[in-house]
Amino acid sequence: MAKALRLSLDGNEFEVMIARIDRDDLYGRVEVEAFDEKGKPAELKVLAADGKTLIEKGGSALEVVNEKGDSIDRSELKPVDLDGKELAKVEASFGQTNVLDPAEIDDYLGLVVKSVYVLDPAEESDIDYLTDHLESGQMYKFPFSYRGGTEHDAAYIVGNGKDAFMIIGKDGDVDYLKLNQAAVLEPQEEVEISADDISFDLL
């Protein structure tokens, strides 16, 4: 069962259910089917490194090994930075109260979008307080992590009428460039060329 996301705006807490919006939901999708000369559906297979072994779908997997090549469990892995120091873990946003802060339109436009969700009120929850603020042109932001990990994504809450959406991504570091001094273009007089000035000897 999907978990509810608890949000807080101006001290008002409410729970929402999130549903991801995929490109297929907006534009549909096209599936291409391939058949052999006998009309049987073609299957995708992977050619192994030996150049002769065909691997069926699902016949390969990833394995985690240490420096000696011994297999290890993923639970033994620890994330570290470039200096080898262990990174602090980030808890998932579900199961805790996420406080919404006002967001700026310039920050939102610089967002590198990863996914989009539509927000619906959870059972016995009311989000009219949120949608009323969104209708007035407000937008909000909070740090979001779906499963936890080492860092948060940026989550922006925007609205369209009574509909609320959550846009997930990374804040882009956009630098706007401009000339230190505007160049001045000096007008130049056009020189008229007559037919007598053109030589056709080389044609």
The range of the structural domain enclosing residue 162 comes to 1-23+63-203
53 domain residue, yes or no:
no
11 domain residue, yes or no:
yes
115 domain residue, yes or no:
yes
Given a contact cutoff of 8 angstroms between Cβ atoms, the answer to whether 156 and 167 are in contact is yes
Distance CA 149, CA 44 (A): 34
Question: How many structural domains are present in the chain?
Answer: 1
203 domain residue, yes or no:
yes
**% of residues, the chain, pLDDT over 70:** 85
36 domain residue, yes or no:
no
Determine whether 185 is exposed, middle or buried from the number of CB atoms within 10 Å of its CB (0-12, 13-18, 19+). exposed
Two tokens, residue 122: 């959870």
Whole-angstrom CA distances from 49 to 71, 78, 96, 123, 181 are 21, 31, 48, 53, 59
Domain CATH number, residue 125 = 2.40.290
105 domain residue, yes or no:
yes
Per-residue pLDDT of the chain (203 residues; tens, 9 = 90+): 578 999 999 999 999 999 999 888 888 888 888 888 888 988 888 888 888 898 888 888 888 888 888 888 888 888 888 888 888 888 999 989 999 999 999 899 999 999 999 999 998 889 999 999 999 999 999 999 998 888 899 999 999 988 999 999 998 876 666 666 666 666 666 666 666 666 656 55
143 domain residue, yes or no:
yes
- Residue-wise pLDDT for 120-177, tens only, equals 999 888 999 999 999 999 999 999 999 888 889 999 999 998 899 999 999 887 666 6
| pTM score, whole prediction | 0.69
- Model pLDDT, residue 155: 96
135 domain residue, yes or no:
yes
Given a contact cutoff of 8 angstroms between Cβ atoms, the answer to whether 5 and 93 are in contact is yes
